[in-house]
Amino acid sequence: MRVDWYRIVFELIDMRSFSNLWFWIILAVQWSMTSHFVLGVPYDLLQRARRGHEQAQEDLEALARIKVNRLLYITHVSGMWIVGFVAFVLSVLLILGFFYNIEFAQAVFCLVFPMAIVGLLTLGDAHRIADGEYQGQALQRRLLFLRVKTQAVGVLAILFTSMWGMYQNLQIGALG
């Protein structure tokens, strides 16, 4: 009796998006990294600055200034092109995924759409920080609040993605 390894592996590892372990690993890593690096500033640096480490506060302000200036420069130079491209990609994913029922497009949409929302929140706070009203503890509070908003978007995105993924897996299971 010949063993068909290809068939066994693909039966063991379902290659559809929502039942694929790699999709869920990517989702977890995406939100872990997104909530750790708020506006490009690592959370541990923010925590050290909040504890009163003077060097950490200087590093926090320097890193925030660098990241804000870079983000605003990119936005001013090619912001409209980026908005158009992101809107196009999200529209294509939305139509392919939810109107034509292509599961891969649904999965990518569930990964990309919440990140677009986080990008808008980050851009708004970058403009506020660039106006110069946030330094010292005010900058710390602004970054912490942005982190909370990012985590709230992440929780909602993970909740929606897991519910939609379960629904898709149950639909495939009912049909198969």
More confident residue, 5 or 36: 36
Span 2-6, mean pLDDT?
A: 69
pLDDT of 71 higher than 80: yes
Give the alpha-carbon dihedral of 96, 151, 166, 94, to 10 degrees: -10
137: CB partners within 8 A, 6+ apart: none
pLDDT of 124 higher than 80: yes
More confident residue, 170 or 44: 44
Per-residue model confidence (pLDDT) at position 15: 56
CA–CA gap between residue 16 and residue 86 (Å, rounded)? 25
Span 115-124, mean pLDDT?
A: 97
Two tokens at 116?
């677009």
Q: Mean pLDDT of all residues in the chain? A: 91
CA–CA gap between residue 19 and residue 24 (Å, rounded)? 8
Span 168-174, mean pLDDT?
A: 78
Per-residue model confidence (pLDDT) at position 106: 95
CA–CA gap between residue 28 and residue 22 (Å, rounded)? 10
pLDDT of 172 higher than 90: no
Per-domain boundaries in the chain? 64-176
Q: Shortest CA distance to 125 belongs to which of 140, 137, 110? A: 140
More confident residue, 174 or 164: 164
Kindly give the interhelix angle for 43-50 and 54-94, rounded to the nearest 10 degrees. 150
Angle (CA) 45-47-49 rounded to 5° is 70
pLDDT of 53 higher than 60: yes
